[in-house]
Structure 1
Amino acid sequence: MNKHVATVPEAALAGSLRDFRAPEGSDLIGRVAGFYQWQSLRREHGLWPYARSTATAPKARCDARSDAGENFSGINFASQDYLSLASHPAIKQAAINAIQEFGVHSAGSAALLGNTSNSLRLEQDLSAFMGGREIVLYPTGWAAGYGSVQGFVRPNDHVVMDVLAHSCLQEGAKAATQNIHYHGHLNLEALTRKLQRIRANDTQNGIMVVTESLFSMHSDTPDLGAMRSICDEFGASLLVDCAHDLGSIGEDGLGHLGLQGMMDAADIIIGSFSKTFASNGGFIAVKDRATAEYLKYYSATHTFSNALSSVQAATILAALEIVRSDEGKALRRKLMDNILYLRAQMAKAGLETLGDPSPIVPVRIGTEAMGRFASRHLAALGGIANLVEYPAVPQGGARFRFQVMAAHNRADIDQVVKILAKAMHDADLEYRLGHEGENADAARSRTVATRAA
């Protein structure tokens, strides 16, 4: 029996992170306490599924711990290690060798003395992988996304972005200009209308159009060729974030940019090493050295952050070598086989998956309350997946985000689908019983009040 099974207060099932985004009051520090109270209530009832930690390597099966200190283990679909390279022997050895030679820290900004021979080689090898583009490295993928917008856009310029663009892109835009225009998700007609309105009033300043090659909450992708044509019509530059599909999708590992034959279409490509390349870090890829050199000194998250360590650069180099090899092709095929099998088994179990086949398999839940119950049951039954709820996804559109690895096998998938189906059933039952109990209590109260009258 789940130790948390009891009457759950409505406050633990309602509300979202957005409710506490802009607290009011003159006490800058004290006014944040409301969030902690709400978080603690959810934690008390086992409904806070965030900030968990792994107690073993993030492999297909792992041991983990909740942020309340509870230990659990299970089949792991919550880690971002798409080609299962984080524990690859060659990559671990590359990291060990780099530590022996360089130590563990870059000890400086890349604009000063933070680069090493490993990071310089990474720039060269990644450039070759991406068709000769100039590469600028960043300490995190988030820093690369933020810096790609902030580094180029100035106050009078415009940013036009998909409403679901990643936080790093949105925050980079906010830091650069007030002229931010959002269009509906993958809606090219809305994009065109936004650009028409901008150019009708401003023909002098720049426009950056921002999208992702694979949207991580919906597992869908834009028509990049159509976007390039629209940008050309209105004199706009196109930025594509390929964080989730570069290295993990396509025969050559170039993701949807490669699949659509659009590697040259993007003026700016950004990416993260943390999904496929077994390390923190990110990059911006541009078409000429002049653009790259400008970024190095005007993109704040590059100039004013310490560079990737030599250990990280060596890890990414080893991962990139595998990605570009026959082994990498085999891993991508195995990954896609797992993706298609998981989606098929989910459908057989009556569970709805969203988007297109990718290492991200979103599974619809529904209300935030149902999601919180389902997440609790999933972990208790031995399944590990990340709950995503409003405001990261639309209200009432809570979902699990299953992240598939090449190292998963069909037994893992069969078992986790059964676990999820039971978790969803148990969550629905618990949710219904709770509300029926509330309704019954309300009915009894009305009866007592009527008799008293």
Structure 2
Amino acid sequence: MKTKSHTNNEDVIAAYMAMYEISLNEAIILSSRETPKERLETYLEWHGVFDQSSYMLERCSMHSSFSIDAIPATDLGTGAAKDHFAASETHLIKRWTPIGNWFHDRGKLGLDPYQKSTGGNILPFVSGSLRDGTPFSGVNFASQDYLSLSSHPRLVKAASDAAARYGVHSAGSAALMGNSDLSLQLEKKLEEFLGFKECTLFPTGWTAGYGIVRMLAQPGDHIVMDMLAHACLQEGAEASGAKIHRFPHLSNEGVERRLKRIRSSEPSSGILVVTETLFSMDSDSPHIKELQAVCTAYNAVLLVDCAHDLGCIGPTGRGVLELQDMVGKVDVLLGTFSKTFASIGGFVATQFDGFRTAVRACCGPQTFTNAMTPIQAAVILEALRIVESDEGQRRRLKLRDNIDYLRTQLKRHGFVTLGEPSAIVPVVVGDCSDARTMTSFMIKNGAIVNLVESPAVARNQSRWRLQVMSYHSHADIDTFIECALKARADVLWEVVETG
């Protein structure tokens, strides 16, 4: 009988920890880099000035020109999409079609869990279809509806009433005449809830994050950002033209080292520090009070993204900032409504008078796109009222009970979970091959999950990003655990059979 051994990989990780004098998490990330050049570039990003981010290197160094037919069949179980980018192809569209073909071939083997669609309300039990039309149904841990508000009767009525009164379209940019009195009410309500003087709405969370980073930092400025910051923040930084400095995940010491170095050589440059209240791939948080103090000491502006915790964490739903006594106390707060507030849209909030008007006029992703629709604004307003109410508190308590129960059961059965308790429960399922096989088994057998793999996470750290809802029951969680145990056993049996 033959089983998989991770001893060699553990030895490599230990060697990197000693060689580079880095943490376990950093060593795990380095071990996923395939060449010495990639490892050096990653290390320099963490511990020295390096203008190109690993995020963009991963996206832009797609150099394979082979057709999908030239890739071994095993690549469907272990390869990455970037390996199929045809960089040598002169036709710009044809550069990308091998990636689509690769996903199509993965789908024929049941190994493509992406681009799923639902066929009804977002509930703890969901039905839908895969990209190729194959139907699925099962317990739902793949939807972002943390307080289970997406089908709430009050929100449905708010949407219906807004459509009847305002129609279904904003019909203009916020810089011109796209706002409605509902969106202005929402901005004022958010200012009160968040403890800021000015709040500005965006039609999506992505445009808010990308747009505000690109607007704040200019060529000649510096952006100091957590290496695991969300893609919209990463791409906004790249587009800004500012110099980018990545710091090790959650390391306030790493931030201060970079700020000290920048200020010693460029005392008059602008500096933007970027982090998140709750990181979506690892479910962990920085020490924000300490980080804000460091930024203030070096005259840097701190931008914090609260996408995954606002509304669903904290006694009154004000998120990690509430838990850390930092409500209204960071320089810039960025957020989205797509996780807890049953809608799309985003916002940026500050304590500085006049900033909203400047954003409307000068932030391209707001100025040159249509404003949030009245229906969005009405739904978010009603969701915010529930979040602030006793009902909202009950839903948060039920959500936390579900989170604790799920994490306890996963740990009891030997699954590796990351981070702290939140509505995101990352479960590491290992290398791409095992992860894709287990995910396929889960979806076919009634447990709907999302798989996250490289380059979003390290190659050997593929994971399910489970998303918990207040309407989940312990029975739903038990059903999920039972299926996960079978999926793991199925993968181990394949190893034994082929060993």
- Deviation track 1:278-321 (CA, whole Å, cap 9, x = no partner) reads 00100001112312221111111110110110001000000000
Displacement of 1:37 in angstroms is 2.5
Aligned in 2, Cα 1:245/1:413: closer, same or farther, shift over 3 Å?
same
- Normalised by the size of structure 1, how large is the TM-score? 0.92
Inter-partner Cα distance in structure 2 for 1:129 and 1:265: 13
Q: Give the aligned partner of residue 309 of structure 2.
A: 245
State which of 410, 417, 423 in structure 1 corresponds to 2:474. 410
Contact residue 86 and residue 95 of structure 2 kept, 8 A: no
Q: Give the aligned partner of residue 39 of structure 1.
A: 103
Q: Give the aligned partner of residue 334 of structure 1.
A: 398
Inter-partner Cα distance in structure 2 for 1:157 and 1:18: 31
Q: Secondary structure of 1:151's partner?
A: helix
Displacement of 1:213 in angstroms is 0.1
Contact residue 224 and residue 265 of structure 1 kept, 8 A: no
Displacement of 1:407 in angstroms is 0.3
Q: Give the aligned partner of residue 358 of structure 1.
A: 422
Displacement of 1:23 in angstroms is 2.6
Q: Give the aligned partner of residue 91 of structure 1.
A: 155
Unaligned runs of 5+ in 1: 1-7, 437-453
Inter-partner Cα distance in structure 1 for 2:222 and 2:290: 20
Contact residue 226 and residue 249 of structure 2 kept, 8 A: yes
Q: Give the aligned partner of residue 445 of structure 1.
A: none
Inter-partner Cα distance in structure 2 for 1:30 and 1:47: 24
Contact residue 150 and residue 172 of structure 1 kept, 8 A: yes
Displacement of 1:24 in angstroms is 3.1
- Identical-pair percentage: 46
Alignment of 1:272-291 (within 5 A): 272-291=336-355
State which of 208, 212, 216 in structure 2 corresponds to 1:144. 208
Inter-partner Cα distance in structure 2 for 1:312 and 1:126: 14
Displacement of 1:423 in angstroms is 1.1
Displacement of 1:429 in angstroms is 2.3
Contact residue 314 and residue 323 of structure 2 kept, 8 A: yes
- Deviation track 1:32-72 (CA, whole Å, cap 9, x = no partner) reads 22212221221110101000000111111010100011001
1:158 aligns with 2:222: yes
Q: Secondary structure of 2:311's partner?
A: coil
Q: Give the aligned partner of residue 215 of structure 1.
A: 279
Inter-partner Cα distance in structure 2 for 1:249 and 1:198: 35
Displacement of 1:30 in angstroms is 1.6
Inter-partner Cα distance in structure 2 for 1:264 and 1:247: 15
Q: Secondary structure of 1:396's partner?
A: helix
Contact residue 11 and residue 38 of structure 1 kept, 8 A: no
Displacement of 1:150 in angstroms is 1.1
Inter-partner Cα distance in structure 1 for 2:84 and 2:356: 39
- Amino acid paired to 2:290: A
- Amino acid paired to 1:288: F
Unaligned runs of 5+ in 2: 1-71
Contact residue 370 and residue 431 of structure 1 kept, 8 A: no
Cα RMSD, aligned residues only? 1.3
Displacement of 1:406 in angstroms is 0.3
Contact residue 85 and residue 91 of structure 1 kept, 8 A: yes
Q: Secondary structure of 2:275's partner?
A: strand
Aligned in 2, Cα 1:22/1:293: closer, same or farther, shift over 3 Å?
farther
Inter-partner Cα distance in structure 1 for 2:152 and 2:363: 33
Contact residue 223 and residue 245 of structure 2 kept, 8 A: yes
Inter-partner Cα distance in structure 1 for 2:133 and 2:295: 50
Contact residue 373 and residue 431 of structure 1 kept, 8 A: no
Q: Secondary structure of 2:428's partner?
A: strand
Inter-partner Cα distance in structure 2 for 1:277 and 1:21: 37
Aligned in 2, Cα 1:322/1:258: closer, same or farther, shift over 3 Å?
same
Displacement of 1:431 in angstroms is 4.6
Displacement of 1:322 in angstroms is 0.2
1:205 aligns with 2:269: yes
- Deviation track 1:339-365 (CA, whole Å, cap 9, x = no partner) reads 001000111111111110000001110
Q: Give the aligned partner of residue 27 of structure 1.
A: 91
State which of 414, 424, 449 in structure 2 corresponds to 1:385. 449
Inter-partner Cα distance in structure 2 for 1:283 and 1:353: 31
Displacement of 1:178 in angstroms is 3.9
Aligned in 2, Cα 1:432/1:194: closer, same or farther, shift over 3 Å?
farther
Contact residue 250 and residue 259 of structure 1 kept, 8 A: yes
Aligned in 2, Cα 1:413/1:310: closer, same or farther, shift over 3 Å?
same
- Amino acid paired to 2:114: Y
State which of 194, 215, 236 in structure 2 corresponds to 1:172. 236
Q: Secondary structure of 2:139's partner?
A: strand
1:77 aligns with 2:141: yes
- Deviation track 1:399-421 (CA, whole Å, cap 9, x = no partner) reads 10110000001100111111111
Q: Give the aligned partner of residue 439 of structure 1.
A: none
Aligned in 2, Cα 1:200/1:21: closer, same or farther, shift over 3 Å?
farther
Inter-partner Cα distance in structure 2 for 1:293 and 1:130: 19
Contact residue 399 and residue 468 of structure 2 kept, 8 A: yes
